[in-house]
Amino acid sequence: MNWVLLKSMFRRITIILFLISQVIWSQSDDRDFQKELKYQSKAIQDLKNEIKSTRSRLRSEENREKSAARTIANLEEEISLVERLIMQLKKEENLARVEIEKLENEITENEVELKELRIRYANRAIHVYKKGSLSDIEKVLSSTSWRQAVYRTKYQKIISQIDQQHKKQIRSLLVNIGKKKLNVEAILRKSISLKKEREKQMAELRVKRKQKKRELEKIRNSKTELAKYITQKEEGVKQLEELIGKIKDDKAKAERAERIRRQREALKTKSFAALKGQLSWPASGRVISKFGRKWNPELKTTTNNTGIDIKGKPGTPVTAVMGGIVTTITFIRGYGNIIIVDHGGDFFTIYSHVTKIQTNVDSEVRAGDILAYMGDSGSINGSKLHFEIWGKDQKLDPEKWLVKK
């Protein structure tokens, strides 16, 4: 049998199989994108619902108490939720942009493949027209041996199948390109809608921040309002204690412990308890308030700091001090936005006053991973990070656990 024809035949078969696999692979990618898009859309809708119910609750609170401390706490809570919504909208917008780029690249590749297939098919038709073609039975009967007759019979069958596959593949690519172009248009519309929604929320956020600035001045210039703010902070400590208690008792505790153990084994790291004095700092800056009881000269009262406050530039990265699992992202009055990370062995770290949160609940993080950025959420003293370590039901002095500066 002609070796050149065999090589050509196998080359065609290889091309067809490759193109079919590309179609299947793109369908799988499309399913993954739809799943991720569904997850992001649900997260956005959940946040919108939470904002709606929170605003309703805050309005009823405002009617009961008209203090600046209460007003600013309510504004902080709204700002926190709107910021999270903006971040979620940005994530979905980026996801849509990446998918559009991927689809456009696939369309270009498909169009190149389609062009090649059409050229091959046209060349074959021209060749048959110019050279003429014996019928299949004539080719078999003109064989010089029975072996050649068998080979020719098989070859004619394969060539016929390849021709049919060429036709099917051309049709399939045309349909696939059409679908992808429709998908690009739909995702582009979605992306434009997300951008408009994000811009609307950002405009609202700017208004809320101006309101917050006005209320902050009232608190700073009034001892009464400052005292109310400190009372809210003390209530926040109790709320945080309850939150940690729930985390320790929840059903997912055992599963989290196993995930943390596997992570430690994979990274070959020590347990939290064994790293006292060796943990990296969660943010750069200077400590402006140490752990323990402090005298407040303005109010002439003693307050208890359950962590340390690190003063830094707005937007300073806030990083995990050790690997673990994010259990909570929420807002607590006096603390603002907080992130809680479980490190196993009943050790937790808490990061508050943060903004632009970069992680999600149930995410695994490693030491040095950026969790958020330093902000003034829940703070009346500007941008800072309030950092706490809880271990074995005790609030620990973070500076004794962090590496010495």
* pLDDT at residue 143, as a whole number: 45
Helix H or strand E encompassing 363: none
Q: How far apart are CA 205 and CA 198, in angstroms?
A: 10
- Extract the residue ranges of the chain whose pLDDT is less than 50: 1-7, 9-10, 13-21, 23-28, 132-143, 152
Q: How far apart are CA 256 and CA 26, in angstroms?
A: 35
| CA distances in angstroms from 60 to 82, 140, 157, 193, 218, listed in the order given | 19, 92, 80, 32, 22
Which residues have C-beta within 8 Å of that of residue 317, sequence separation ≥ 6? 283, 370, 373, 374
Question: What are the boundaries of each domain within the chain?
Answer: 3-217, 229-401
User: What's the pLDDT tens digit per position in 197-206?
Assistant: 777 877 777 7
Q: pTM above the 0.85 mark? A: no
Helix H or strand E encompassing 389: strand 384-391
* pLDDT at residue 59, as a whole number: 65
What does CATH list as the number for 229-401?
2.70.70.10
Q: How far apart are CA 183 and CA 171, in angstroms?
A: 18
Output the CA angle 179-183-184, nearest 5 degrees: 120
Q: How far apart are CA 80 and CA 69, in angstroms?
A: 16
Categorise residue 366: left if φ over 0, alpha if ψ from -120 to 50, beta otherwise: beta
* pLDDT at residue 66, as a whole number: 59
* pLDDT at residue 295, as a whole number: 73
Alpha-helical segments (H) within 132-252: 136-141, 146-220, 223-249
* pLDDT at residue 132, as a whole number: 47
User: What's the pLDDT tens digit per position in 36-78?
Assistant: 666 667 777 777 777 777 667 666 655 555 566 667 677 777 7
* pLDDT at residue 1, as a whole number: 42
